[in-house]
Chains A and B, each alone.
Chain A
Amino acid sequence: MAANPMYQFNVYRIGPEIKIGEIDISFTNASLFMVISAIAILFVFNLGSKKKSLIPDKIQLLSELSYSFISKMINDTAGVKAKPYFSFIFSLFMFVLFCNMFGMIPYSFTVTSHIIVTFVLAAFIFIGVTVIGFLKHGFGYLKLFVPSGVPIFLLPLIIVIEIISYLSRPVSLSVRLFANMMAGHTMMKVFGGFVVSLGIMGGWLPLGFSVALTGLEILVAFLQAYVFAILTCIYLNDALNLHH
């Protein structure tokens, strides 16, 4: 078996090489798990939205609870003005959640453990939020970098710090998710390796750790999806309701 804990993150082509000009857009195992996640989400929520009974069954309850959960999250953090962005945040949360969860299946692939995927999502959010901010407030959006109640002689420093913190948002957002997923899966692989190398006598302890870590990782998978979505809401809140 693959002993190197990083091998699980390898991307390889499935099927023929697809090229547009010089650009390689071949279907890979990462693409496969993106497609699986998307199909799973659509399958579950399509099933959950089909019946319209007054007293919901399990799958309908699941989809309706998810809907209210995310709706409440957006309302609490970004207010009523964020309603039009509900679909995007719902899709984002579900996509990240399902990718994380499918990654928990042994020998599967974790899409969100790749920095390029999380960075593209985060960059899209960052650009989108910035565009929304400028569209809503014009150049008044720049007031975001000038907190109220700060002494004038501190302003040059504060503005620089605020701009750096704003620009680092996509990096922090993407690295947080990527690093969490990668670290968790690497750790599980390491413990799994210990089980094999310590054999039947000493392998029980790391096996126990592995089981415990699986539970922890499922929690992290949910938590990181939630954090990703809620941070998006907070950024959206900055753009929609300029408080400074």
Chain B
Amino acid sequence: MKKIIIYLLALFSVAQIAISAETGGMPQLDPKFWISQIFWLVVTFGILLIVLSKFILPKIRNNLETRKSQIMENIEIADNQKINGEKNLKEYDKIIFDAKLTAKKTFNLAKEKIQLDLTKEREKLEGELNSEIDDVEKEINDLKKSAPEKISSIAVDAASEIVNKLTEVKVNKNNVSEIVDEQIKLLGNK
């Protein structure tokens, strides 16, 4: 390829020098090749015009129009999707709002129920506790009442035993009990 170009360039320059030696002035005004130039201009420009207008330019036009319509379509689709998205967002917000409302209601209901249960349980427990306390108090009172008698009998037994051990004398229990009672009374007075 390069060789051909160099060869052509050399050919042109050699031919130019050869011809320019003969002529002078403006070669443009020499009518020798006018007809030839007109003929080849009409031929080349005509072919160029026909091929461009019949085959190449319609293809480019189609490409451009296809691209334009494609872009328009895409924009339309994008717009639709945007509208859909906004609608979905609204729905989503509504669902969230409803859910929150329901949750609050459920929470409140549960809270009330729990409180109700709690008070019931507490009342029941308190009742049980009260009755138990009453029972225990009664028992304590009974014990309090019976305590002095028991103490005196124990004291009588103990005293008579001590006396028996010390003196080896059988003691009359009635006498001992009198003395113990007296002593208890004295202790109680103190």
Show the binding face of A for B, using Cβ within 8 Å: 1-2, 4, 6-13, 23-31, 34-35, 37-38, 41-42, 45-46, 48-50, 52, 54, 56, 60, 63-64, 67-68, 86-88, 90-91, 94-95, 107-109, 111, 113-117, 120-121, 178, 182
Indicate whether B189 reaches chain A with its CB closer than 8 angstroms: no
Contact call A117/B53, Cβ cutoff below 8 A: no
Cross-interface CB contact of B56 among A23, A42, A86, cutoff 8 Å: A42
Residues of B within 8 A of A94 (CB): 48, 52
Cross-interface CB contact of B44 among A35, A87, A109, cutoff 8 Å: A35
Residues of A within 8 A of B62 (CB): 52
Contact call A24/B36, Cβ cutoff below 8 A: yes
How many residues of B are in contact with the other chain, CB < 8 A? 47
A37 (CB) vs chain B CBs: closest residue: B44
Cβ-Cβ contact count across A and B, 8 Å cutoff: 155
Residues of A within 8 A of B53 (CB): 87-88, 91
Cross-interface CB contact of A23 among B35, B41, B64, cutoff 8 Å: B35
Q: Which parts of B55-113 form the interface with A (CB within 8 Å)?
A: 55-57, 59-64, 66-67, 70
Contact call A67/B33, Cβ cutoff below 8 A: no
Residues of B within 8 A of A113 (CB): 28
Residues of B within 8 A of A109 (CB): 12
Cross-interface CB contact of A95 among B15, B19, B34, B48, cutoff 8 Å: B48
Contact call B60/A8, Cβ cutoff below 8 A: no
Evaluate whether A120 and B52 lie within 8 angstroms (CB atoms) in the complex, with A87-B57, A107-B12 already known.
no
Contact call B19/A116, Cβ cutoff below 8 A: no
A48 (CB) vs chain B CBs: closest residue: B60
Q: Which has the most chain A C-beta neighbours within 10 Å: B20, B38, B53?
A: B20
